[in-house]
Structure 1
Amino acid sequence: MVSSVVEGRSLKQAGLTGLYLGVFATVWFSVPKSDGLLRTLLVIGSVAGLATAVCGMALLGRARREPAVERDRAADRRYLLIVVAEFAAAGLGAWLLAVAGQREYIPVLVSAVVGAHFFPLVPVLRDPRLRVLGAAVCAVAAAALVTGFATAVEAGLVAGAGTGLALLGYAVSTLAGALRRG
């Protein structure tokens, strides 16, 4: 019985991860403006993100057949607080960059905030792999900033494609791991 409960929770968490990060990967792949082959690759990334979200929803449907797991209200509140802080920091930072006339760096800032928000989520979601995802997204933001300052490549292109790829990779690996276990 304990094994089923843990498995059900794992399937549900993996499904939510696939759903949420699949949708957010799609959004990130939609941020950059480009033409030609790169545009095609970004569209493919967006479609892969949507397919991942659909797979996450299917896994959630499968997890509903498992025994219910009691909700941790304190963890739910911490999760909500972290996400609200993330949106507030990203929104305020984006507004400040817009006022300063640096709109092209908004995706870089938002990417850095998204990456940073994964670190406090580790104990809440009990997933130490979120540290790797957070570090990867923060590294993408740093690379986008350097690229934007040092080259003619738009920082938003690097931030959008890189963050989308990191989120998509994490979501797919989480779904694959849950399906292997389940």
Structure 2
Amino acid sequence: FDISDIFETKKMGNTFQVPTGASVNAKYLKDGNIPRITASNINNGVFGYFTSNHKNYRIYENFISISFLGTIFYQEGKASLDMKVHCLKPKYHELNTYTATFLISILKKEIGTILYNDQISSTSILNLSLTLPAIKCDDKTYKPDFEYMQNFMQEIEKSIDEDLTNLHIGLNLV
């Protein structure tokens, strides 16, 4: 196969929805069980666990968060986003750990092309192009091959597990 037969570059705006979080004053946040995601690079961006009836308390489910600072994490399950944290959720695929990890590795590379003094915004995210494995739908359209992404990451995980097992055996740690 030619590389172009397997990989396709898509504008993110054609592939993903990009909602953004909003500011909610701390007085409106009540202790709860929904993680609040901030721009922090610590603890998957989780600031705490809350609930709120405030109109700006937006809840998303099973997505990749990208902050204006460039922190990128997979958020499994429900989470609420703080201001300047964006939600990337594929339109036609339910993310899992494997497909999200694959996409995050590509996103981190592309986010690196945004100038340091520029904040990552919904506009700059929409201007990114991602080179992804693709399935040809017809003569003119392709769609991301999420099955390939999942299988690829599962193979990486299996290889790492085998390497660690061999290392433990070699070091007599088993």
TM, length-normalised to structure 2:
0.30
TM-score (norm 1): 0.29
Q: Which structure dedicates a bigger proportion of its chain to strand?
A: 2
Structure 1 or 2, whichever has the larger Rg, is 2
Q: Identify which of structures 1 and 2 has the higher relative contact order when contacts are C-alpha pairs closer than 8 Å and 6+ apart.
A: 1
